Structure 1
Amino acid sequence: MKLLETIEAVHNYVNTARRLGRSIGLVPTMGYLHAGHLSLVRKAREQNDVVIMSIFVNPTQFGPEEDFSRYPRDLERDQELAAGAEVDAIFAPPVAEMYPEGYATYVQVEGLTEVLCGASRPGHFRGVTTVVSKLFNIVQPDRAYFGQKDYQQAQVIKRMVRDLNFPVEIITVPIVREADGLAMSSRNKYLTPEQRRSALALYRALNLGAGIIKSGERRAAAVRKAMETEITAQPQTRIDYIAVSDADTLQPLEEIAGRVLLALAVWVGNTRLIDNLILEVKDDVAHYDEK
């Protein structure tokens, strides 16, 4: 496995692969890898000749009061895990390589970014779309892989790819969970044992909301209220948002129908966690939809 730290090194690596007629899959990450990241690698490995993983804690997607400086980093550990998953190359640039002095160009997707996480993290998605567009231009992959846990992010990137005509297929991979249901996240390491127990309420609340919908409830407000009660019953929890939204537009619903996103962001102690479920409600029957 190659460790590439400059854009020039990536270009040289990719040009060699292209000359050999090889397809390229990109797995963008911020590192501190877990099984969720490795599920993206497995899918990329199935579908491409070459798998490149980026590891870059992107400063432009963190707000001034967010955890950029303390976000977990362990490149040596990440290299071992990536090599075990048969990643061919890691692109791990320093910040100055991606944002040299005088950098002044950003990519903004409108409409999908003002709700959910975008409402409470202004500028976050501008940072995401900017760095992902740069990665697409640097690596020039055939396919790129994102997790459903960051559902809004994946929808925003799909819109950017469509609107800016990037020749990249976006693949979304289902959420990977711990045995007790907690969605895997690099930020889970921040949780104390008590907070870890409280964090299980996120997935319980999502399943509670889904169960209520399956039982016939179509009022989004009633579903949100039940989910809120489940979360606030746990110590050290503070709700950022609970949403019952259209899964395509991300706009809030009043009456539940079609593809529905149940999504939430909850502070557990000082750690902000997100999770979601997708339901398909058709002909008054609801079922899970992992697409």
Structure 2
Amino acid sequence: MLAAVDPPPPLLWTRGDVALLSRPCVGVVGARIASAGGQRIARGLSQQLGEAGHVVVSGLARGIDAAAHLGALPTGTVAVLGGGVDDVYPADNTDLYRQIAEQGCIVSESPMGARAQARDFPRRNRIISGLSRGVIVVEAEIRSGSLITARLANEQGRDVFAVPGSPLDPRSKGPNELLRQGAILCEGLEDVERAFNTLRTLGEPPAGSPFDGAPDDLDDAVIEQIAALLSPTPTPRDELARAVGLPIGVVASALLELNLTGRANLLPGGLVSS
């Protein structure tokens, strides 16, 4: 999954159950200063995701991140840190950090002993989205790290989900704006499963990467065939797969190459345009 990250991490430091990273993951992120309702949604949704076989990935921040980790702790959760895997930040999540280290997995690209700086968090966010098949934003203001994670997920070809909220709450402006841009509305586990099941009907393994089934070296003719089908009008990836009669993994890999060369735009909700 991390092959779609730009740039991919050269190595990862881990603490805990590394096997969790090989299971299907879903990112759950949101506001640090979260409402009680938002935290309840994040915790309940993460519990449902875990019980359905997903590993919840988040950033160990206050608010939504902490609630997501707590909800998924019994079934498996991954915390991606900005500092080293021995850097507990924020300090008031120390108990949660210890629980994740014992029952889940702590991950970081930064070396042991490194303390998190502001510049480390966008870099951390690309790993959260990179590990995840989809990313759910629960609460976030317009200018927030959670929307950076959503943008990175979109660029990596992941599904982006948003939990709608009241227009009176500034923490709902981020998710509501993502919905305007084409993110998948998420009110519960059913919405996530429905989006993932769309891909499974095309033969993608439930626990695999969007790039499963793609050859190491794509045929240039295949890439050009897919490029010819693109237009300024956003088109679902699964429609492209049906049109060319190829596995979704091959199409996703070709679209990534086209995106890297500026010939395709990867949009929220599994859409793509020229």
> TM-score of the superposition, structure 2-length normalised?
0.34
Q: Which has the larger share of helix?
A: 2
Q: Which has the larger share of strand?
A: 1
> TM-score of the superposition, structure 1-length normalised?
0.33
Task: Please say which structure displays the higher CA radius of gyration.
Answer: 1
